[in-house]
Chains A and B, each alone.
Chain A
Amino acid sequence: MEIPHTVTARPDTGLYNAKLAIWLFLASEVMLFGGLFSAYVFLRMGADDGYWSHGLLNVPVGTLNTIILIASSICVVLAWAALKMRQWGRYKLYLGSTIALGAVFLAIKLGYEYPVKFEHFGAFIKKDKWAAYEQYLGNDYLAKQGLEPRPEITGHLHEVEINVADADAGLLDALIKKRNLEISKSEEEGKVLTVKVHSPWDAEALNKAPGAITNPQEGDPAKWVRKDPGVKMVAFEMALDEVNADPTNSKYDKPSFMPRGLTETVATIKAEDVDTGGWGNFVPKHSPFLAIYYAITALHGLHILGGLVVFTYFFFFSEQLYRRNPEHMANRIEVVGLYWHFVDLVWIFVFPVFYLL
């Protein structure tokens, strides 16, 4: 059975079916991303002064990704034009370029931008303890300049001091061995340990280590009750980011285009001075900024992946349709192209909203 209006326009709408469908789909996508951007506005307006991250993301990398996506968008429209002109070779070249550029975009996002964040550590200091960390926060200086305060100390986590008095010793040992961690200091008869960590994930794992069993006489393991928490964080030792190593330097008053590096200055932060749940690597739960950043960019990344899957299918399996009906093939590429341009359009707003403002 022949499906009508795959190539020719319907008389009532003036559009072929797929085009009408893709625009309806894109309208629903506008609402999907609109909801998330609305959540962004809500979170940003609700954030206390200083608690919305500025300059956290790598602007040159974001700019590069923007240019890559623009180039891919141009390539897909050229692929469509090549089909319209019945230039099969050029179509394959442009479609292949679109796929390659989209893949590079995703590779940068997943292979570089996200992992760097996952390895970075930050601790939000309690407001009443800011004065004790003035040398790293520089809030007196910022107040004099009329700038927002700086509540977080960031950098690379080296060591954690933990109180293991209530921990299950066997399970804790197993965890330390499994993660290949090194105990650099043991105090108070082994109740307080200083552990060298490879990344903030190790600190997270240690923090979740199970407590000792309080009712070992109970035979059924399902009825065991464990001390909670098993491990208590005492302190974090970290190499500081530039901005925390020299917080009163005026060059850190504003975010910079080039990403700021790590210094060799080491600071020790007491866990009791940190906001509840306010320490850890830069994952979604770390702050509202990161939560909405990952939500929107990950959803956008999934859209890129979806587009790449469809493009790759057409790259390998479109010749038969092209031989039979080249205009139908051109329409298919036009429809996927519309989707791809929309994904590009979303990024054009994601980029300034998260990287620049």
Chain B
Amino acid sequence: MSESHAPDAASSAAVSPEQTREINKHIKSYLKIGVVQVLFSLATVAISFGNFRSTAMQVSLTLLAAAANGTLVAGILMHLKEEKRTIWKFLIFTGIFFFILFFLTYLARTDTIMHTLHNHH
């Protein structure tokens, strides 16, 4: 577990001081992101128990706080912010299919296609 276990290739492929500085900068930002994420999570809880006139507003804000939290994970911890275009293309396609999936639920609820439901809630 100690740093003295300096493995062979690992020591020969040591990082430059510039790289070390760069990674240290990243580490600081990861720690900050962790704190912000915890705060966002607590904000999500606080919003959900707050007194809002409109339930729709409360639900939207709760989900917005969760989405902001998720954006931090995907954008910074998963390095999506600086990821290659290939990955973005995959994800955009996935996003399209993801929304189609929810649209199917909408179609089922509204019975747009078959018109077989007689007793909507």
Contact = CB atoms under 8 A, between A and B. Distances in A.
Given A27-B90, A48-B121, A325-B9, A87 B3 contact: yes
Contact of B86 (A13, A77, A92, A351): A13
Given A23-B87, A34-B101, A93-B1, A341 B73 contact: yes
Contact of B62 (A77, A325, A356): A356
Contact of A31 (B5, B34, B94): B94
Contacts of A86: 10-11, 13-15
Given A74-B30, A348-B70, A88 B7 contact: yes
A337 B76 CA distance: 12
A213 interface: no
A255 B55 CA distance: 13
Given A70-B41, A77-B77, A84 B69 contact: no
B57 interface: no
B102 to A, nearest CB: 5
Interface residues of B, number: 58
A139 interface: no
Interface of chain A, helix or strand or loop or mixed? helix
B84 interface: yes
B2 A41 contact: no
A27 B94 CA distance: 6
B85 to A, nearest CB: 8
A75 to B, nearest CB: 9
Interface of A: 13-15, 20, 23-24, 27, 30-31, 34-35, 37-39, 41-42, 45-48, 59, 63, 66-67, 70-71, 73-74, 77-78, 81, 84-90, 92-93, 254-257, 319, 322-327, 337-338, 341-342, 344-345, 348-349, 351-352, 356-357
Given A41-B105, A88-B5, 10 more contacts: A27-B90, A85-B15, A89-B3, A254-B49, A324-B8, A326-B9, A326-B13, A338-B78, A341-B78, A352-B48
